[in-house]
Chain A
Amino acid sequence: MVKQHRPPRPLVRNAVRAFAVGGLVCDLGQWIQSLYMRWGGFDREAAANPTAATLVFAAVLLTGLGVYDRFAQWAGAGLAVPVTGFANAMSASAIEARSEGLVLGVGANMFKMAGPVIVFGVVAAFFVALIRAVLPRLIG
């Protein structure tokens, strides 16, 4: 009975929005990278870092202004998957904990949402590196 009344999840709508917004964020990133390459004197690889920093800064600014979560409600994974999602997770946690003080509030809570991403990112990287190191020797 509960299932029968459950509103259908708008999967197609969500996927289309996530695809479009995620793509636009990447477009924006590409555009910023080109700017750094043309006028900043960076080569393609070196331009990647300031590009990510610029996107992170924009996401943190929008989070602080209280509008990022509204865009994200509309766009879903389109804003959660790029580096902007990570920046939002950290800055939102930091803002939330501000009233509890700088060290035990902001400091301790900043990685509350982003922590799992780092933990499992590092774990995954370890196993990938392990396979990369061991596999050629087994085959070769």
Chain B
Amino acid sequence: MARSLGRYTWQFDRVFLVGEAAVVGPKEGEGPLRDDYDGIFSCPYAGQPNWEKAEQSFLRDACEKALEKAGKAKEEVGLFVAGDLMNQLTTSSFVARSLSLPYLGVFSACATMAEALAVAALAVDSEAESLVMTGTASHNATAERQYRYPTEYGAQKADTAPCTVSGGGAALLGRDSPGGAGRVRVAAATLGKVVDLGAKDPLNMATAMVPAAADTLAVHFSEMKRDPSDYDLIVTGDLGFHGMPVLRDWIRRHGYDLGDRYSDCGALIYSPTQPEVFNGGSGSACCAVVTFGHLVRRLRRGELRRVLVAATGSLHSTVSARQGETIPAICHAVVLERET
């Protein structure tokens, strides 16, 4: 049964990743993790008439592939927890409409994946549900349209600008999983608080999110009575190439040194030499496809034993940014462990 450690952390007893899948668009499919995805769409439209529908098909496809890999039928799933970046969570809700399952829509911007995973794990560990599906998706063009400029508009972007990942990731959580040793479980989750130190530039969100990430990581280490060295890998969500060194420095203030165990999903998903990736990947799919595609594969292969995924999100809206408000940020962390 799940129990609380301190104010922010939940520790789970028996929550396993039963099946997971990651599907991506063409740009991600050309990135360094191309071999770790379950599906790569060759066109950003994904065979749909518009970007919004393409984003939905990323999520739907990831959910179907996760069910298929787990060998489960849709009817066995008791709850669907999903989120995305679109206004009113249209992507998740429209996918939930076709799945026709009990559904909770969650939002933490680019940190949604960890929030969904924490909620789903709690539902499983409390024995309220025996099989729960979570998923998040984002699409570069829908995010550009909603948060920035029309996709074909020729505004010059700075190197600190995020590149929203096109893709979707989904995972099935259950109380048991076949496979004995090598099973991957969700061991704990640390929920973040909203941190805002006054950063204002929506085209440099990484620096707005660093304090939130450092705060959640420090709280996690202290409440779990662990050190960074207890993890084989610590990844943040989408701080990117320029945010990573800032976090390394920032977390030293809390007395922790991340060393060479530290990486970032946004920096892993693209190579800095790819055209127009700027600061690296971002968006609610970024953390999901890297975790469910790349990291869980490495856990299952035994290359990693314990991973801390600290998903980061900026909670501003276009209206709040134009009204001169600063960018509140949040970071939720989940621990994935391979059973020995």
* B residues less than 8 Å from A113 (CB atoms): 149-150, 153
Residue of B nearest to A67 (CB): B152
A2 touching B151 by the CB < 8 A rule? no
> Is B156 within 8 A of A14, CB to CB?
yes
Q: Are B49 and A99 in touch, CB under 8 angstroms?
A: yes
Interface residue? B123 (CB, 8 A): no
Which of B51, B152, B159, B207 lies in contact with A92, CB distance below 8 A? B152
Interface string of B139-172 (1 = CB under 8 A from A): 0000001000111111111111000000000000
Interface centre among B151, B152, B156 (most CB of A within 10 A): B152
Interface residues of B in 43-57 (CB under 8 A from A): 49-52
- The total of Cβ contacts below 8 Å across the A-B interface reads 78
Are B150 and A2 touching (Cβ within 8 A)? no
Interface centre among A79, A96, A113 (most CB of B within 10 A): A96
Across-interface contacts of A92 in B (CB, < 8 A): 149-154
Is the beta-carbon distance between A72 and B154 smaller than 8 angstroms?
A: yes
A71, B154: Cα distance in complex, Å: 8
Complex alpha-carbon distance, A32 and B256, angstroms = 64
A 52-72 to B, binary, CB cutoff 8 A, 1 in contact else 0: 000000000001101011111
Q: Other than the known A73-B154, A99-B49, what 19 A-B pairs have Cβ atoms closer than 8 Å?
A: A1-B250, A2-B207, A5-B249, A6-B160, A63-B152, A68-B152, A69-B151, A69-B155, A73-B156, A79-B154, A88-B152, A89-B153, A91-B152, A93-B150, A95-B151, A96-B152, A99-B50, A113-B150, A113-B153
- 7 pairs from A and B in contact (CB 8 Å cutoff): A9-B158, A14-B156, A70-B276, A88-B152, A99-B49, A113-B149, A113-B153
